[in-house]
Chain A
Amino acid sequence: AQSVTQLDSQVPVFEEAPVELRCNYSSSVSVYLFWYVQYPNQGLQLLLKYLSGSTLVKGINGFEAEFNKSQTSFHLRKPSVHISDTAEYFCAVSSFGNEKLTFGTGTRLTIIP
């Protein structure tokens, strides 16, 4: 079985400040990792994904995440946030041969002007 833990339910950040949203996973097999974003009244949009290869993954809107196998983490980072980054962010995991996504509970990112 696989699971995802997002340690922070809400993260307030000042505009232009850096942000890190934390995600830890557990799985008995090799994993694929994803970050999805949900803007108000919209669906889930893929920000970035890790399948294999380089552990530093760059996504859309200036976000990046680093896969750390020893710490079973996949934290999302952005060096300078904008008001438009206000959204709910979901970390998700799937595994080889099993395409269903297992999600975390989400982190609500609020940008303070």
Chain B
Amino acid sequence: EPEVTQTPSHQVTQMGQEVILRCVPISNHLYFYWYRQILGQKVEFLVSFYNNEISEKSEIFDDQFSVERPDGSNFTLKIRSTKLEDSAMYFCASSERVSRGYQETQYFGPGTRLLVL
């Protein structure tokens, strides 16, 4: 069964450094998402992406964050200058499409655990 993959599984970085989290969505999916979960807290929506542009972003997704689909398979989340509070599990998800009046299933990857020291 096709699945969403994410690399790396764990990332440790120093505060102020840039990190890039990588995701390979399911191949025929058109919508891509990033969510994060700070330890002990809720899974939170960060951003959705369709047709090479951001379709929606949360207030968490400030200027330090960016997303990109650099080629036909990868979907990346970049944090320009990491802060301690960016430490979290980051989940990538993809769905086949979004149809008006119908919620497509979002398929999630295993996550990248980011630790900022």
Contact = CB atoms under 8 A, between A and B. Distances in A.
Which of B41, B104, B110 has the most chain A CB atoms closer than 10 A to its own CB? B110
Interface in A50-107: 51, 90, 92, 94, 96-106
A113 interface: no
Contacts of B108: 36, 43-45
Given A32-B103, A99-B31, A99-B98, 4 more contacts: A99-B48, A100-B45, A100-B58, A101-B106
Contacts of A96: 101
In the complex, which range does the number of interface residues on chain A fall in?
20 to 34
Given A43-B4, A104-B42, A49 B105 contact: yes
A62 B13 CA distance: 41
Contacts of A105: 41-42
Contacts, number: 57
Contacts of B45: 100-102
28 contacts: A36-B108, A42-B110, A43-B3, A43-B4, A43-B6, A43-B91, A43-B108, A43-B111, A44-B43, A45-B108, A46-B105, A46-B106, A46-B107, A94-B103, A99-B31, A99-B48, A99-B95, A99-B98, A99-B103, A100-B45, A100-B56, A100-B58, A101-B43, A103-B35, A103-B42, A104-B42, A105-B42, A106-B42
